[in-house]
């Protein structure tokens, strides 16, 4: 190692561990929260629709909330479906989004 060379610190497991922890502690709970919020939004719209009775304005607001709740759920389900199709089509190994596991191949120098 010369005077002008830059030392590089590399730990084989640290990045894998970091990615796994971010996925487990941040991304997955956020996804579950968004699913729950979309479901609550849909159910709130259903309650507004049913309790609206003869008031057409309240019923239309309830319909709108139900529609956007379903759209939110469909988008999130679609993302998981597209991710699964891409991973299976390209035969990408080492990424398991269902169990929050990412195993990257070692870097060769």
Q: Quick check: is 107 in a domain?
A: no
Integer Cα distance of 71 and 25 in angstroms? 26
Name which of 62, 42, 40 is nearest 50 in CA terms. 62
Report the range of poorest mean pLDDT among 8-17, 52-61, 67-76: 8-17
Q: Quick check: is 53 in a domain?
A: yes
Burial of 7 (0-12, 13-18, 19+ CB in 10 A): exposed
**pLDDT higher than threshold 90 for residue 15:** no
**pLDDT higher than threshold 80 for residue 82:** yes
Q: Quick check: is 5 in a domain?
A: no
Burial of 10 (0-12, 13-18, 19+ CB in 10 A): exposed
Q: Specify the higher pLDDT residue, 10 or 56.
A: 56
Phi, psi of 96 (to 5 degrees): -125, 90
- The pLDDT assigned to 100 comes to 66
Whole-prediction pTM: 0.65
Q: Quick check: is 7 in a domain?
A: no
Q: Quick check: is 60 in a domain?
A: yes
Q: Quick check: is 29 in a domain?
A: yes
Q: Specify the higher pLDDT residue, 109 or 92.
A: 92
Q: Quick check: is 109 in a domain?
A: no
**pLDDT higher than threshold 90 for residue 74:** yes
Q: Quick check: is 98 in a domain?
A: no
3-state DSSP assignment of residue 95: strand
Domain of residue 61 covers: 14-93
| Number of domains present in the structure of the chain | 1
- The pLDDT assigned to 96 comes to 73
**pLDDT higher than threshold 70 for residue 7:** no
């Amino acid at each position: 190692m010369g005077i002008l060379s830059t030392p590089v610190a590399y730990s084989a497991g640290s990045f894998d561990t970091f990615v796994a922890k971010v996925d487990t502690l941040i991304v997955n709970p956020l996804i579950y929260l968004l699913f729950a919020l979309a479901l609550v939004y849909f159910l709130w719209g259903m309650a507004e629709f049913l309790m609206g009775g003869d008031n057409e304005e309240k019923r239309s607001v309830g319909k709108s909330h139900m529609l956007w709740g379903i759209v939110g759920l469909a988008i999130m389900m679609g993302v998981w479906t597209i991710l699964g199709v891409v991973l299976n089509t390209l035969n990408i190994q080492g990424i398991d989004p269902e169990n929050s596991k990412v195993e990257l191949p070692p870097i060769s120098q």
